[in-house]
Amino acid sequence: MRATEIFLPLPPSANKLWRYGQERVFKSPEYQSWLEEAGYKLNGQHPRPVPGPYKLTILAQRPPRRHRDLGNLEKALSDILVRHKVVDDDAWCDAIFARWVTTGEGVALRIEPAGVE
């Protein structure tokens, strides 16, 4: 099985995904907006599903201010892959490689079956 590649806008930081109030947890407006935009872009690319264990590569456009934690990108990206059935469950992720890049826009994702080197 070949890898699936997807290009998405840069997600909000994991610290900005959820809000708390009135004894409940809910998605922040920023996260809801990103889910809608990213979902639309993801669907337009018609990604091939990767069932079972997988490896995830994240190449993210370095933001102008360096106060962003690279690891904070993974949660929102994994959640949208599950939400749009590109992967079965983010618990199946066997490996994650992430790095900042200086070219391109947003985030490039590569999802491939685990065990493919």
Tens of pLDDT along 48-79? 999 999 999 999 998 777 677 888 889 999 99
- The Cα 60–Cα 81 span in angstroms is 16
pTM of the model: 0.87
Check pLDDT > 60 for residue 101.
Answer: yes
| CATH numeric code, 4-113 | 3.30.1330.70
Burial 38-53 (b: 16+ CB within 10 A, else e): beeebeeeebeebeee
Q: What pLDDT band is residue 18 in, cutting at 50, 70 and 90? A: confident
Give the per-residue pLDDT at 20.
Answer: 80
Question: pLDDT confidence of 114, banded at 50, 70, 90?
Answer: very high
CA-CA distance, 105 to 32, in Å (whole number)?
20
pLDDT, the chain, mean: 89
All structural domains of the chain with their residue ranges: 4-113
pLDDT at residue 62, rounded to an integer: 84
